[in-house]
Structures are given as structure tokens and as C-alpha cells.
Amino acid sequence: MQQTHIVLQLNICKMEAKKLKSPTSNLDIHVSSTLLVPATNIYCEAKIQTCPKQTWSPLGETEVIYDSQSLQWITPIKAIYKFQALQYIRFNIFQKDNENDKRHIGLATVTLAKLVGSPQLEFELKSLETNEVVGSISLYAEEEISCKEKVLLTLRGAHLDDLDTFSKSDPFLKIYREHSGDWILIHTTEVIDDCLDPQWNPIMLEMNELCRGDLETMIKFECFDFDSETDFELIGVGTCKAGQLLEKGFNFPLINHEKQRKNKKYRDSGEVFVEDVTVTQADTFIDYIRAGMNLNLTFAIDFTASNLLPSNNNSLHYINPDPNYKNEYQNAIELIGKCLKEYDSDNKLAAFGFGGIPSWIGITSHCFPLNENEANPYVEGYEGILEAYKQSLSKITLDGPTVFNEVLQSEFKIINESDAKTYHILVIITDGDYSDIRETTRSIVEASEKPLSIIIVGVGWDFFDKLVALDSDSALLKDDRGRKAVRDIVQFVQYRQYKNEPELLAKEVLKEIPKQIMKYMKQHGVQPSNLTSIV
């Protein structure tokens, strides 16, 4: 029986979870908050500091919640707990005003050790400007468990209570997982308008999200009638065990306890049925690597005049006679190249420059090969890029402006000519914002449908406002024609935030790559077993 196999697999996951007692553990930190003043478009951003004088490094952020004063986010903040380190985490609550602007509401700071040692903690949120209390934030951390199953669940409601006067209820569900006496929100369904017998869209959940590998975990369903973005009325509440949701046809009643208290003849406010359920093995990034996926790496380096002449020791392109000294371009190339070289089977990397006047071309070019070979811009490994970069400095006149689109178009050509199992990573290292906003945005939206991720490393001391906008973690990028990207493919990092912490820089630069690759594979229906072409 399929469920017996699932139980065995999940019990193994659960047993493995209990073994995770080492000084270093991967954690999911769940965040909820209550604000004293109602607000919309709210999200939480977390940063980590490993000693009092270090820079605060980005750790992660939640999704945006648009419609509630009492906030409970589904997306956890992920952190690595190290027993031997004093780790501080600062939680910042922001209101997102538009695609690029945000307003700081409040913050709270806590040590990761304190979170690990307590089932749940609540802190005051204080304004950064006035230090006044603006609300509270609740936090609790649980160890991440490796379970590869995922559940596709289709739910329907039957004979729900009608709470509207002139029409029928507009029902939706909030689904929670029990943890240490509290409830973690794991999913919210869409609203079904004017319907007392709704069928909601299929819900895809990882088994780790649903029950952490324990089929005895209690699951709670709250069914509401949606009235407006800030007002909805409870229809009823139902509970069951996670394992029961794996049984097609299983159903449970929705109880409104207020109605039950007032009316002794009250029975229920409707039922929820498991219309369909499928449990499958979830593919991972490692599965694709083992199946033969290759990563192709391209570097594009900024040669605009704002970098200053390489002969100037204040230049970002200055080459120090000391062989142990590297400028910011060299450091970024080496760090990223070292991390990704093991995933490139032929170790051939393309290397381009932009914004300069190469002596072998004679005019300003916004995409030229550092090895001077238009037909074959590849070099051997990241060491080859470092050497080509160093040799080219004496042959290139710095110019401008900063233009990205021609580099993107060259990358599209590489993708079209590449092996069918290859996913591409374009690394752009630049000292300032770009000028071809319309063309670049259009190309990135187009690129979101291709097997491509873009890493932008900002060197120097610019504010990089336009580049930050390309890193669309909260809302997908949209071009001037109204076309929206199908996935987020850009990761922007400011080098100066990690100048003295190369390991953290590498982690921040590369952290979104596996997630972006997995999203591409899922959108295109590519599984490790059929990895014959990802284009």
C-alpha cells in the first residue's frame, strides 16, 4: 500500500531529524508580528552579525503580506546555528511603498542561541528613529529536516454557512501546522467567490512544510468568508492529523465554536473533503547535478571611466605589485569562480568587458572579449579570467556609459549555441548604475524564460539604486511594455558589505542559484530522469 511506503520514508526522515544534535544546525525561523498602527504591504527582513563590531549581513526575508494588522508570514528565515559562535539576528519590519521604495517600521534584535533555547519568544518592535514601541514580534526556530516528498492536495468544501446577506459566502482556507502548542501558518488558498461548495486549486506542499516528516502532526484549517482586504469573517475551524490528509475522500467538519456555544442544536458550518491527493518524490538541486546538468559561467567586467585609471592607486582597477593584494574585481572573480568551477565540466569560461575602448577595436564597445577573440571568448578556468583581465588593462581606454544589454544579448547567443544540458550563470561586476534601463529590463524579462541566472556584484562606493531594483525578491520584474518576468533571476550584492568576509560574500552571491535553477526546471517540466534538454 502506497501510504505504508510513505510512512516508512517519513519515519526515516523523523529519525534522521532526531540525530541532528551537532553544534551546527540548519534552522527555520518562523516570524509573526502585531503592529499598533494598521499597515499594508508589510514584510520582515533579517540580518546576522557574528561579533559586535562586524557588519550586519543579509540573512533572508519573508514574503509581503498585503492585508493584515496581525501578521503571520509563511516564508521562514533560514539560518545556520553555530554553537561556538555568538550570533545576533536583527529583524526589521518594512512597509513596501512601491517596487523600489520601502519604509522602516520597527526592529528587534536577538541572539540565535536564545531562539534555539526557547520554544517561542516575543519581543517589542521599536522605531529606529524614535525608539518608541510600535508593536511586537514573535519568533521561534525549528531544525530543518531533510524530507524529499511533496504533496499535491486538492480540497473542496461542502454546504458551508452563508454569511452574506445578498449573495453567498466567498470562502478561503488558512492551513496551519501544530508546533509545541502553537500553530504555524503554512498555506492560504485563493478566495472562491459566491460559493458554498467550493473546490480550491491544488496545493503543492513539501512534506517538510506539512508535518516535518511526522504524520501524527496536527493540522488546522480555518475557513473564512472574504469581505475585503482587511475584513473577513470566520465560518469554522477543523483539525486532523497530517497522515489523514494523504487519504483520498477523507473529510472533517468545520466548527464555529461561538455558534456552538450559543445553540445547543448546532451541528457544524460545513465540511472539507480531500478531493484528491498525490505524494511524489521531490527532486533537489543535487539530483540535477548528479544527472549531468552542467553550469556555464560568463564574466562581464566594467571598464567605464568612473573606475579611475588603473595607474591610480585609488582606482578599482589598480593592480598592486604585491602578489597577495587583489582589487575588488579580482577578488570577486576568484571567489565566484572557485565556488562554481566544480560544476563546469569543461572549465571553459567566457570573459567580456564593457564600457571601454579596446585597442584592437578602436571605438567604445559595450561587449568585447578579454582574450581579443570574437569567435572564441573562452579562457581556461577562473585563473584564465584573472590573467586575461590583468593583461587587458594596458590595452583598454576607460570610457562609458555603463550599458548592460549588449552583454545580455551576447549571453543569449552563448545559450543558443550551448549543450542542451547546460544552465548558464552570467556574472556582471560593475562600479555603478547602468544607463540603458529600458533595454536591460526588457532583456532580463526575456531571460527569465531561459536557463540563465544573473549575478551582479557592485564594487566601489556607489549607492546602486537601479541595480537593487533589478533584484526583484519581493515582486517580479516588469518591463515598460507591461511584460512580467516568469521568475526572479537576478541576485545583486554590494562587495563593500562583505569586503573582509570572503566566505559570506560567496554565500550571499550564490545563495539563490539553486532555487532559481529549480524554479526553471519545474516551470519547464524537466526532471533529473529526463534531463536531455533544458532549453
Is the pLDDT at 26 greater than 70, yes or no? yes
Percent of the chain whose predicted confidence (pLDDT) is above 90 = 55
464: left (phi over 0), alpha (psi -120 to 50) or beta: left
> How far lies 444's CA from each of 355, 472, 525, in Å?
19, 11, 21
Cβ-contact 487, 448 below 8 angstroms: yes
Q: Is-cis flag, bond preceding 401, omega within 30? A: yes
> Which tens digit of pLDDT belongs to each residue from 191-228?
999 999 999 999 999 888 899 888 899 999 999 999 87
Is the pLDDT at 443 greater than 90, yes or no? yes
Q: Would you state the pLDDT for residue 229?
A: 61
Q: Which residues of 58-71 are buried (b: 16+ CB within 10 A; e: fewer)?
A: bbbbbebbeebeeb
Q: Would you state the pLDDT for residue 274?
A: 96
Q: Would you state the pLDDT for residue 534?
A: 74
Q: Would you state the pLDDT for residue 51?
A: 66
Cβ-contact 490, 477 below 8 angstroms: yes
90's enclosing H/E stretch is strand 88-96
Please report which confidence band the pLDDT of residue 21 belongs to, taking 50, 70 and 90 as the band edges: very low
Which residues partner with 107 through β-bridges?
A: 92, 126
Percent of the chain whose predicted confidence (pLDDT) is above 70 = 92
Residue 228, all three cell numbers: 475585503
Whose CA is closest to 251, among 157, 334, 315, 338?
A: 157
Q: Would you state the pLDDT for residue 526?
A: 86
Residue 282 has what DSSP assignment? P
Burial category of 387 from C-beta neighbours within 10 Å (exposed 0-12, middle 13-18, buried 19 and up): middle
Residue 222: count of CB within 10 angstroms of its CB: 19
Residue 440, all three cell numbers: 536591460
> Which tens digit of pLDDT belongs to each residue from 159-199?
999 988 788 999 999 999 998 788 999 999 999 999 999 99
Q: Would you state the pLDDT for residue 474?
A: 62
Q: Would you state the pLDDT for residue 18?
A: 40
| Sequence-separated (6 or more) residues with CB below 8 Å from residue 226 | 170, 171, 172, 191, 232
Please report which confidence band the pLDDT of residue 25 belongs to, taking 50, 70 and 90 as the band edges: confident
Please report which confidence band the pLDDT of residue 2 belongs to, taking 50, 70 and 90 as the band edges: very low
User: By mean pLDDT, which of 151-160, 405-414, 415-424 is the weakest?
Assistant: 415-424
> Which tens digit of pLDDT belongs to each residue from 373-410?
999 999 998 999 999 999 999 999 999 999 999 999 99
Please report which confidence band the pLDDT of residue 84 belongs to, taking 50, 70 and 90 as the band edges: low
Q: How far apart are CA 282 and CA 268, in angstroms?
A: 37
Please report which confidence band the pLDDT of residue 529 belongs to, taking 50, 70 and 90 as the band edges: confident
Cβ-contact 191, 170 below 8 angstroms: yes
Kindly report the pTM of this predicted structure: 0.59
Q: How far apart are CA 99 and CA 484, in angstroms?
A: 13
Please report which confidence band the pLDDT of residue 44 belongs to, taking 50, 70 and 90 as the band edges: very high
| Sequence-separated (6 or more) residues with CB below 8 Å from residue 463 | 433
Q: How far apart are CA 264 and CA 522, in angstroms?
A: 50
Average of per-residue pLDDT across 333-350: 83
> Which tens digit of pLDDT belongs to each residue from 249-304?
999 999 999 999 999 899 999 999 999 999 887 777 778 887 888 889 999 999 99
> Mean of the per-residue pLDDT values for the chain?
87
Q: Which residues of 123-133 are buried (b: 16+ CB within 10 A; e: fewer)?
A: eebbeeeeeee
Q: How far apart are CA 42 and CA 102, in angstroms?
A: 9
Superfamily of domain 20-143 in CATH is C2 domain (2.60.40.150)
Average of per-residue pLDDT across 424-443: 93
User: By mean pLDDT, which of 48-57, 305-314, 506-515 is the weakest?
Assistant: 48-57
Residue 98 has what DSSP assignment? S
Question: Does the domain spanning 149-281 belong to CATH 1.10.10.60?
Answer: no
Is the pLDDT at 11 greater than 50, yes or no? no
Is the sign of the CA dihedral 499, 327, 463, 368 positive or negative? negative
Q: Would you state the pLDDT for residue 7?
A: 43
Q: Would you state the pLDDT for residue 285?
A: 79
CATH architecture of residue range(s) 296-530: 3-Layer(aba) Sandwich (3.40)
Owner of C-alpha cell 526515516? 12
Which residues partner with 52 through β-bridges?
A: none
Owner of C-alpha cell 494523504? 246
260's enclosing H/E stretch is helix 257-262
DSSP assignment of 125-193: EE-TTT--EEEEEEEEEEE-----EEEEEEEEEES-----SSS---EEEEEEEEETTEEEEEEEPPP-T
Q: Would you state the pLDDT for residue 146?
A: 67
Count of residues making up the chain = 535
Q: How far apart are CA 21 and CA 38, in angstroms?
A: 41
Is the sign of the CA dihedral 379, 380, 385, 387 positive or negative? negative
Is the pLDDT at 46 greater than 60, yes or no? yes
Please report which confidence band the pLDDT of residue 144 belongs to, taking 50, 70 and 90 as the band edges: confident
Is the pLDDT at 1 greater than 80, yes or no? no
Q: Per-domain residue ranges for the chain?
A: 20-143, 149-281, 296-530
Q: Do 296-530 and 20-143 fall under one CATH topology?
A: no
Residue 321: count of CB within 10 angstroms of its CB: 5
Distance of CA 271 to the CA centre of its chain: 35
Identity at 385, one-letter amino acid code? I
Most trustworthy range by pLDDT among 53-57, 472-476, 531-535: 53-57
